[in-house]
Chain A
Amino acid sequence: MKVDLTPILESKRTFRRRAAARPLAEKLRMLDALRERTLAIRRSTNPGPAKKDVTHQEYDTGNWKK
């Protein structure tokens, strides 16, 4: 089966353009939500790690798993 990626890529570009054009405050709220989601995924894929927020330093050194 052949899939024409052109409309898919164009759709992605359109989505990104729309997201970029959102009001600043809305985009910053999206960052808040994205961070929460990223942390939730990391916690769920590594059972029992940090109950507090994770910083880069903790993540890079693996200390957040302790």
Chain B
Amino acid sequence: MGIKEVIETINRMQADGVIERYAIGGAVGATFYLEPVATLDVDVFIEFHTEAGSRLVSLQPIFKYLCDRGCTAEGEHIVIAGWPIQFLPAGSALVQEALAKAIEKDVEGTPARVFTAEHLAAIALETGRAKDKARVLQFIEADAIDLDRLQEILTRHGLAGAWQQFERQFLK
């Protein structure tokens, strides 16, 4: 049991047509670029297809698919291989772009789609909690992001002000 099994399950869901494009974000996504940091769950971003005229998204097909295969639902999470997984819609233009530009990484022969480091940092800046800002700092200190590319993303999504504030607070 472990995250690799989670990734294999998500890949199977994709192959079975339960989900389309997906990408891992959050702390687990960051681990693909940085040192591992303790986290309790896995954030998986997916494209939701809403029914015509509806703005609501339903996780029911995903939960049903997984529960039929022995997984258990716990509130907003579903537990796969011991890990609570949160399936999240690409709700903002930034996350939609991150999902579209996610890259495939190889985990001992298992493909895993993950946000780019720059998109992970941009999303963390947009989310803006203390732990998210700490993650942005980690990316910078580890030299794990292309700062020019990050700036482009931030400008495109109206986050230049947030970046200036972050710079003043932590980098100057």
Contact = CB atoms under 8 A, between A and B. Distances in A.
Interface of A: 13, 16-17, 19-20, 24-25, 27-32, 34-35, 37-39, 53-59
Most buried by B among A29, A31, A59: A31
B111 to A, nearest CB: 11
B1 to A, nearest CB: 8
B94 to A, nearest CB: 22
Given A20-B33, A24-B32, A24-B105, A37 B40 contact: no
A55 B28 CA distance: 15
A54 to B, nearest CB: 7
B25 interface: no
Given A24-B107, A25-B107, A38 B75 contact: no
B130 to A, nearest CB: 15
A34 B38 contact: yes
B77 A19 contact: no
Interface string B80-94: 001110100000000
Contact of B4 (A16, A19, A28, A59): A28
